[in-house]
Structure 1
C-alpha cells in the first residue's frame, strides 16, 4: 500500500523540487489526498493514472470526484495528456484517501482489521467486482443498486482487494440503522389531515402504495386489513415502531380513531432497512410503490455518500416517480465530527449520509403548536443546502413526522392522478409540498423547519385549483410562465423544484443542473429573487434569516410576496448551468385572500372530548381578536373566551362534561364564522356477554342517548351494521364471519359520538355466559365461591350447588341477578368439598360452571377416600403436608400390593384390580410410619 494512504491529517506545507510554482502550495482541500513522495519528480512513463487536476476540466479527461469548483480528482489514460498537464503545473499525484468519506479512520487493531462488517462500495464495473467477490468465501453481497454494492467483508479484504483497485470509486463503512422513536401524540389536525378528509372525502390514498422501509410491521393489525401487500424485501422481524409508522401514514382507523392515518385508502408494504441502498427497481415496480418512508437513522454523516447518489439516481429514473421521505433525526443538539460543519453544535446533524440526497425530502419534528423541539435534527446539508425541507407533528421524534409527510404525499399523488389522468412527477409533488407548507419559526426557509409545517389541506387545494406549471429548460435557455393575482391577495408564494441528476459520490456540491427563478411584475417593473440562507459554517451565519439572492446550491427555490399587487406576473426560469441535455421542472403557486378564515378543527368527522383540553384550530389571514362561542344541540350560544388572538390560529379549551352535538362560532366585529357541527362524547366500553356454541352477545356502557350504531369489521374497514336502542346485541354464529365489533352513540342533530375501541368478541375469555368460577377455603370450616358472569342479559337466576353422595344438590339461589360479579360464603366439611354454579336463563336454558374443589383438613392431617372402594377405581389421598411422603398398601398376609409417592395436597391413585377384602395402608415419611389404616375393597 502506498505510503500515506490514510493520512487524513496531513496539513503541512509541501514543496516540490524543480516543479512549477502552482504545485508548491497544496490547497487545503487537497491536503488529505496528496502523495507527497511523488511531488519531487514525475516519470511520464509511470503507470499512475489518477491525479488531482487544478483548473478547468478538459473534455478528454474523466472526472472521478469534484473537491471544489477548481479541483477535481481525475483519471487520465493518455500519457501525452498527463505529461502536458504536468508541465503546466495542473496535476498533483494523490493517494487513495479520496475514495473514503470525510472523517474515516482505518481500523487499527488486529481484531478490527479482521472483523466482518458492512461496507458500501461504488464501482465503475459491477460485474467484475461481483465476480471477484464471489470467489472469496469471506465476503457476502447483501444488495446491489446500479453501480453501488453493499457487502459484508473484513477491512483486511477491503484493503487488499479494493483500496487500490482503479475501478473502485467509493468505500464507506455502513452504520447500523436505528429507528428514531415514534409519535406519542398523534393528531391529524396538526397537519390539516382531518380538514383534507373533510373537504375531499374520496381522496384517501386509494390506488397508492406506500413502502415502510425498516423492520416489518404487524400485518395482522386490523388497521391494515385487506391492504397489506407481501414483499420478498420485508424483514423477518416484526417491530412496533414499523407498525406505528404505517398507522400514521395509512392506518384504516379500525382499532380506534387514533388509528386512522392520512392515506387510509393506500396499500402498504414492507422493506428491510438492513439494506441501506434503494430497493431493486423490479420489486418496486411490481409493488407499484410510489413513495417510501424511512423513519430511521445511522448517526450524523455529513457527506454525499454512495447511498445518497443511489437514491437520487432512483428518483431520477424516468417513469418511476418514486419519492423517498426520510426522518431528519433526533440529534438536533449535537455536532458533526467531520465535514464543513464539524464541531458546530445544533446544526448539520441529520442522521445518515442518504439524507444528503437532493431529490428526497427530509422531515423534522414539531410539537402540536408548530414549535420545533431541540432534539429534532437541523440542517444544513453537508454542502450548505436547505435541510430539512419540511417539518410535521412529532412530539417524541421525527419518525412520525416523516410518516405524516408520507401519508400526505400519497394523497397528493392520488389527487393529481384523478385530476390530470397521469401520474405526478416527484418534482411536482415536492413543489406542492414545499409551497403549501405553513411558515413557522424564522420568516422564510430556515435550517430548523425548512419551508415550514406540512399542510395537507393547502397541498391538495393547490392541485385542485390547478396552480401548477410543468416545463423543461436547456442550458442558457429561459422560459417565461405567467400567472394572474387578483386584488386583495395576500402571501403570494411560488416554488420551483426539479429532480436533479445524481452527483458523483463524495462530491463537494451535490447540485448538477442549476436552474434559477426570477419573479417579475411588468406593471411595476419590480423583480424578486428566491430566498437563500447563509450557509457559512458559523452559528451566527446559520441562524440568519434568508435573503433574496441567486441560489446555486438547491434544486428547489421559493419566492414570496406578503402583499402582492394585482395583475400579471412573469415567472422566469433559466438554465444557468445544465451539463445534461435538458432539465424538467415543476412550479407550484398559491395566495391567500384578505379576511380569509376557516375552522380546521373540529370539522365534520371529528369529535371533541368532554372534560378535557381540546386544541381548536383555524386558518386565517386576519390578525385581529374575536370572541369564541359554542352551543350544544339546538341551544343558545355561550361564550368560551373573549379577545382570542386570531393570528395564533389555535385555542385550547375544555368542553363541558356532556354528551351532545356541538358547534363553534368565532365572532368578530362585523362578521362571524361557524364550524361544522360535531359530536362530543366519551369513549364507551364494549365487552362480550356470552360466547355460546350457537350465538354470542356483545354489550356496552349506557350513554345519555336513545340509540347506538353497531359497527363490524368488513373486508378492509369498519362498516355500519345495525342501529339499536338497547345496550346489547345477540348474534347467531351460523354463516356469520364477523368477529370484530364497535359501537357509537347517536347524538342529536344526526351526529355520531365517539366510536368505542374495536374488539374481537372471541378474545375476552368469556364462555357461554360464564367468565370464571373460583372456590377457595374461607377459614377452617367454610368456602368462598366467586362467579363472574359475562352478562346478566336474560339471566333468570343463579343456583350454587354442592356434590353429595346422591349428586349435585342446590344450597343457595340468587334472583334476580343484577350484577355480573357474585360472591357467597357457605359452610364446608372437612375433607373434599365440590361446588358448581348453574345459570338459568329466562327461556329455561341452563349453563353450568366446571366443578371446583375446596379441601379442608380440620384437625386431621390426612384423608383417604372413598372407603370402601371398587377394584380399579381412583383412590383419593389428601395430605396437608405432602413433602417426601409415600403411600403403601398391604394385603392381610403383609404383602405389598401398591406403592405411590405423594406429590401434592390431593393425590389421585388408580387402584389395581385387587380381590375383594380388607387391606391395610401406611403413609411413610423419611422411613418413619406416620399413619396407618384399613381400606376395604368390594
Structure 2
C-alpha cells in the first residue's frame, strides 16, 4: 500500500508542475533522471530548482521504479460499420426494444459532435468532456448509439441510448459518484498509448472502481500494434504477442476487444495477448475494417443493449459479471479453435448474448473463500453445442504487482454418464510455439473468466459447479451464462426480410448451418423471374459468402440447395444508391435532384424535423422543390419506391453544406497579367435559366459586358473585360430565370488606378513580408535616400507584389512607364 500511495503522490506532483505534458510516451528510469529534467526544462521553461527538486526527490525514493507519461491516441481511421457481421442486424430484428433507452454510454476520448443528427437529442454532458471536437469520437458515438438519421451507415447498435463524453487526457477512471449521478453504466475507450506490459496505477484504479460499483462496464479497444514487438516485460522480443497498448488494458475487470474483417479473419494489426501475466487478451473480437476502435464501440453498444433488455425485464442494471459472461457465452468461435491470444474467447454475436438474457440462461451469486454452489441445466436432444462462461469481479492489486489474482473461482461441468468438463486454458510460457498451441482443458488459476464448450453434448442434465479457493481474500460477485445451439438447422442470417442492399456493393451473405451438409449451390432470382446460379461450390460450414451483387432495382430472393434440401431466404431489396444534389438554394425555395432509379414508380422525400426524419413529399420525377416558408429544414433524404416496397434510402444531405447558392456556386473577377479582368460564373444548375448577363458598375452606372442565352451545360460561364476605367470597377453576374426573376451574385470590386496613381500596402512594412502595390506603371524601382536604385523589376499587372528584404529605414518606391519615365513615387518605410 505504501508503494502505491507514493507512486500516486509522485504523479500528482508532476501534474501540478505541468511535467506530465512534457514527456511524450517515454519511460524515464530515475537512474538517468537528467534526461527527463532536460525535456521538462525545454518544453515548459520550468525553473531549474523546481524540476531538479521533483526529479531528484523521486529518483532517491526506493519505492519509485519509473516515471511515465502517455499521450493517448485514437486507434482507427473512420470506417463504415457493417452491423451484420456481429449479428447486430439480427438483434435489432429479434429484440427491437433492446435499444439502450435506459442506459447512458460515455465516450472517453475527445468530444464528439453533439449536434450530429444521429443522436443530438440524446446527449448529456457533465463537464468532463474535452474542448476539442473530433471526427473519430463522432464515429464512435454513432456506432454506439446512432439512429440512422444521417443515412443507412448512421445506425448504431443501441439507437436510443443516452450519450455522454469524457476526455481521455485523464487516463485514470472518471469519478465514480459522477458516473452514478449521470446514470452511466458503460464507457467506451477506443484509444491507446504505447505497448505496455505491466499492471500499472491505471489498471489498478479501473479494477478498484468496477469492483466497488459492480454494474459498471469499461470496454477498451485492445490496440492496433499487432505487428509490433514488445520491448519489455516477460514476452519481450516475441513478434506479435503481448502488444496491448496501455497498462489500463491489463486490468482484470475490464473488457478488451480485438478486430476482425467482414469475412471473420482476425486483423493482423489488432493487438494480441497474452497480458503480461499470461491472461487471455483480448476478451473477444468484433468487426473493425480500419482498426480496433470500431470493434470496441460495437461491443459497448451491445453492452448497452444487454443492460437495457435486462432493465426492462427486471427493473435494474445487470452486474458486470452477468454482462461479460453473456457476451462470452454468446460468442462464435474465431481464429484458432476454442480460445487463443488473437481472438480471445470468440467473435461477438449480439443476438446470441441478448437471447441469453431474454431466456434467463444464467445464474448469479456471491462467493466467499471455500464457498461452493451447484446448479444444473438440461441439454435437449439434437444439441449441436453448449457454451458456458463463468465471470467474476476481483479486487484490485497493487500497481507493479505480478501475481494479480486475489480471488479465484473454479468452474467444473459434470455431464451425464459422469463426464467431467474443465475450462479451456492456454499455455502462457514465454515462447512463440507455446503461445500458439491450441487450448487444452485444465484448471485455470490466472483469469477472471472461465469458459467451457462442449460439441455435440449428450442429452441430459449437466451440473454447473463453482467453487472458491481457500485463499480468497473477500466475497466476490459472479455470474454464469450459457447458450445452446440446435443441430440440423440451416438459417439465413443476412440479408433479412425487407433488408435493402446497394446494387454497387459486395455484401457478405450469412447463414447458420448446423446440418451435416457441407457443399451447396447458391442462386438468386428477382421476384417472378428464374433462378440465376451464383456458385455451385459453396462451403456451407464457412457460413458466409461475399456476393458480387448485380446492378438490380428489384425484390430479390436467395436459395441454397444441397442434395434434396432447399433453403430459400426471405425477400429483400436490391437498390441503386441515390445521391441527392442541390440544384439551387434561394431565399424562398431550394431545388434538389438525383439520378432516376429504374423500376422506381415514385420517390419519398424526408426531412429532419423534431429530432427525426419525416416524409414531406412523394414525387414521381427525380426532382423536388421545397418551399422554405412551409418547411425550413436544411436536411433532406430520398428513398425510391417500387411496386413491392421501398429501396435504399439516401444519405441525408445538409443543403447549407453543399456550397450552392441561388442557382450558382460562385462568381469571381480577377485582374490577369494582360491587365484585363477575367470573369467566371460557376452555376449549380442550368434548370430554368433564360439568360446570364455580366454587369460592370462604374460611378453608379451599370454596363452589360456580355449576355449569354445558352452554353450552360458545363455549368461554367466565362468572359473577359478589356476596357478598364480608372477608379472602382464593380462586377457581378445576373441570372435571368424563365419566370422573369433575376438572381444577382455578390459584387466583386476592383480598383483601377489612374496613370499617375500609386498605392502601397502595407506601409510601413516589416522586413520579410510581401509589399502589395497598385499602379499602371510597367516597371518599379526602390531607391535609398541617396537616390541609388537598389531593387527594380518589371510589373506583371496593375496589382502586383514583391517580397521585402531590406534593412530598416526609409526608401522611395518609383513607378516608371515603358519609356522609363517616372509616373508615380511614394515613401516606403521598412521596420
Q: Same fold (TM over 0.5)?
A: yes
CA distance in 1, matches of 2:152, 2:30: 52
Q: Indicate yes or no: 2:493 matched with 1:600.
A: yes
Instruction: Tell me the equivalent position of 1:540.
Output: 433
Instruction: Tell me the equivalent position of 2:45.
Output: none
Seen in structure 2, the aligned counterparts of structure 1 residues 855 and 664 have a Cα distance that, compared at 3 Å, is farther
Instruction: Tell me the equivalent position of 1:156.
Output: 56
CA distance in 2, matches of 1:302, 1:780: 68
Which structure has the larger Rg over C-alpha atoms? 1
Q: What secondary structure, in the 3-state scheme, does the structure 1 residue paired with 2:743 have?
A: strand
Kindly state the Cα deviation for residue 924 of structure 1 after the two structures are TM-superposed. 6.0
Alignment check: 8 A CA contact 1:328 1:398 kept: yes
Q: What secondary structure, in the 3-state scheme, does the structure 2 residue paired with 1:189 have?
A: coil
After TM superposition, list the pairs within 5 Å mapping 1:321-336 onto structure 2. 321-336=215-230
Alignment check: 8 A CA contact 1:379 1:386 kept: yes
The aligned length equals 751
Instruction: Tell me the equivalent position of 1:746.
Output: 641
Q: What secondary structure, in the 3-state scheme, does the structure 2 residue paired with 1:577 have?
A: coil
Q: What secondary structure, in the 3-state scheme, does the structure 2 residue paired with 1:416 have?
A: helix
Instruction: Tell me the equivalent position of 2:552.
Output: 658
Alignment check: 8 A CA contact 2:584 2:684 kept: yes
Alignment check: 8 A CA contact 2:680 2:717 kept: yes
Q: What secondary structure, in the 3-state scheme, does the structure 2 residue paired with 1:316 have?
A: helix
Q: Indicate yes or no: 2:192 matched with 1:297.
A: yes
Alignment check: 8 A CA contact 1:620 1:649 kept: yes
Kindly state the Cα deviation for residue 562 of structure 1 after the two structures are TM-superposed. 0.5
Kindly state the Cα deviation for residue 410 of structure 1 after the two structures are TM-superposed. 1.2
TM-score, normalization: structure 1?
A: 0.73
CA shift digits 1:402-453 (9 cap, x unpaired): 1221121111111221222221111001001111111112111111211011
Seen in structure 2, the aligned counterparts of structure 1 residues 499 and 719 have a Cα distance that, compared at 3 Å, is farther
CA shift digits 1:132-171 (9 cap, x unpaired): xxxx9959xxxxxxxxxxxx993223245xx26xxx7987
Of 832-841 and 596-605, deviating more is: 832-841
Seen in structure 2, the aligned counterparts of structure 1 residues 382 and 838 have a Cα distance that, compared at 3 Å, is closer
CA shift digits 1:474-527 (9 cap, x unpaired): 322321111111110111111111112223333332212111111112x41212
Q: What secondary structure, in the 3-state scheme, does the structure 2 residue paired with 1:647 have?
A: coil
Alignment check: 8 A CA contact 2:697 2:731 kept: no
Seen in structure 2, the aligned counterparts of structure 1 residues 431 and 848 have a Cα distance that, compared at 3 Å, is same
Kindly state the Cα deviation for residue 533 of structure 1 after the two structures are TM-superposed. 1.3
Q: Indicate yes or no: 2:482 matched with 1:589.
A: yes
Seen in structure 2, the aligned counterparts of structure 1 residues 528 and 851 have a Cα distance that, compared at 3 Å, is closer
Instruction: Tell me the equivalent position of 2:84.
Output: 189
CA distance in 2, matches of 1:214, 1:502: 24
Equivalent of 1:214, from 109, 117, 132? 109
Q: What secondary structure, in the 3-state scheme, does the structure 1 residue paired with 2:511 have?
A: strand
Equivalent of 1:460, from 341, 344, 354? 354
Alignment check: 8 A CA contact 1:392 1:454 kept: yes
Seen in structure 2, the aligned counterparts of structure 1 residues 720 and 484 have a Cα distance that, compared at 3 Å, is farther
Q: Indicate yes or no: 2:110 matched with 1:110.
A: no
Kindly state the Cα deviation for residue 653 of structure 1 after the two structures are TM-superposed. 1.6
After TM superposition, list the pairs within 5 Å mapping 1:394-405 onto structure 2. 394-405=288-299
Seen in structure 2, the aligned counterparts of structure 1 residues 468 and 689 have a Cα distance that, compared at 3 Å, is same
Seen in structure 2, the aligned counterparts of structure 1 residues 501 and 658 have a Cα distance that, compared at 3 Å, is same
Seen in structure 2, the aligned counterparts of structure 1 residues 851 and 532 have a Cα distance that, compared at 3 Å, is closer
CA distance in 2, matches of 1:670, 1:224: 49
Instruction: Tell me the equivalent position of 2:93.
Output: 198
Instruction: Tell me the equivalent position of 1:630.
Output: 524
CA shift digits 1:591-627 (9 cap, x unpaired): 1111223323222464323244322222222342112
CA distance in 2, matches of 1:492, 1:477: 25
CA distance in 2, matches of 1:157, 1:221: 49
Seen in structure 2, the aligned counterparts of structure 1 residues 658 and 587 have a Cα distance that, compared at 3 Å, is same
CA distance in 2, matches of 1:931, 1:507: 85
Seen in structure 2, the aligned counterparts of structure 1 residues 456 and 244 have a Cα distance that, compared at 3 Å, is same
Kindly state the Cα deviation for residue 330 of structure 1 after the two structures are TM-superposed. 2.3
Q: What secondary structure, in the 3-state scheme, does the structure 2 residue paired with 1:108 have?
A: helix
CA distance in 2, matches of 1:629, 1:387: 40
Equivalent of 1:721, from 583, 605, 616? 616
After TM superposition, list the pairs within 5 Å mapping 1:771-810 onto structure 2. 771-773=665-667, 786-793=680-687, 795=688, 797-800=690-693, 807-808=702-703
Q: Indicate yes or no: 2:510 matched with 1:617.
A: yes
Seen in structure 2, the aligned counterparts of structure 1 residues 429 and 759 have a Cα distance that, compared at 3 Å, is same
Kindly state the Cα deviation for residue 211 of structure 1 after the two structures are TM-superposed. 1.4
CA distance in 2, matches of 1:777, 1:690: 29
Which runs of no fewer than 5 residues in structure 2 stay unpaired? 5-26, 42-47, 758-772, 783-794, 801-813, 825-831
Instruction: Tell me the equivalent position of 2:790.
Output: none
CA distance in 2, matches of 1:779, 1:176: 51
Instruction: Tell me the equivalent position of 1:846.
Output: 742
Instruction: Tell me the equivalent position of 2:452.
Output: 559
Kindly state the Cα deviation for residue 304 of structure 1 after the two structures are TM-superposed. 2.1
CA distance in 1, matches of 2:347, 2:40: 42
Kindly state the Cα deviation for residue 114 of structure 1 after the two structures are TM-superposed. 6.9
Instruction: Tell me the equivalent position of 2:539.
Output: 645
Instruction: Tell me the equivalent position of 1:365.
Output: 259
Equivalent of 1:550, from 443, 447, 450? 443
After TM superposition, list the pairs within 5 Å mapping 1:304-453 onto structure 2. 304-318=199-213, 321-453=215-347
Instruction: Tell me the equivalent position of 1:512.
Output: 406
CA distance in 1, matches of 2:252, 2:191: 18
CA distance in 2, matches of 1:172, 1:928: 72
Alignment check: 8 A CA contact 1:660 1:748 kept: no
CA distance in 2, matches of 1:718, 1:506: 53
CA distance in 2, matches of 1:657, 1:352: 46
Alignment check: 8 A CA contact 2:780 2:815 kept: no
Kindly state the Cα deviation for residue 316 of structure 1 after the two structures are TM-superposed. 1.0
CA shift digits 1:831-860 (9 cap, x unpaired): 699876544445443323456799999xxx
Instruction: Tell me the equivalent position of 1:281.
Output: 176
Seen in structure 2, the aligned counterparts of structure 1 residues 923 and 379 have a Cα distance that, compared at 3 Å, is closer
Instruction: Tell me the equivalent position of 2:810.
Output: none
Q: What secondary structure, in the 3-state scheme, does the structure 2 residue paired with 1:701 have?
A: coil
Instruction: Tell me the equivalent position of 1:269.
Output: 164
Alignment check: 8 A CA contact 2:365 2:479 kept: yes
CA shift digits 1:360-400 (9 cap, x unpaired): 11111222222223332222222221111111123332222
Alignment check: 8 A CA contact 1:614 1:653 kept: yes
CA shift digits 1:236-270 (9 cap, x unpaired): 23333323322322233333322322223222222
Alignment check: 8 A CA contact 1:776 1:784 kept: yes
TM-score, normalization: structure 2?
A: 0.81
Of 248-257 and 400-409, deviating more is: 248-257
Q: What secondary structure, in the 3-state scheme, does the structure 1 residue paired with 2:56 have?
A: helix
Q: What secondary structure, in the 3-state scheme, does the structure 2 residue paired with 1:713 have?
A: strand
Alignment check: 8 A CA contact 1:772 1:787 kept: yes
After TM superposition, list the pairs within 5 Å mapping 1:21-170 onto structure 2. 105-113=29-37, 116=40, 154-159=54-59, 163=61
CA distance in 2, matches of 1:310, 1:773: 59
Alignment check: 8 A CA contact 2:29 2:66 kept: no
Kindly state the Cα deviation for residue 703 of structure 1 after the two structures are TM-superposed. 2.1
Seen in structure 2, the aligned counterparts of structure 1 residues 812 and 505 have a Cα distance that, compared at 3 Å, is closer
Instruction: Tell me the equivalent position of 2:389.
Output: 495
CA distance in 1, matches of 2:419, 2:317: 36
Alignment check: 8 A CA contact 2:777 2:815 kept: no
CA distance in 2, matches of 1:339, 1:923: 73
Q: What secondary structure, in the 3-state scheme, does the structure 1 residue paired with 2:656 have?
A: helix
Of 605-614 and 735-744, deviating more is: 605-614
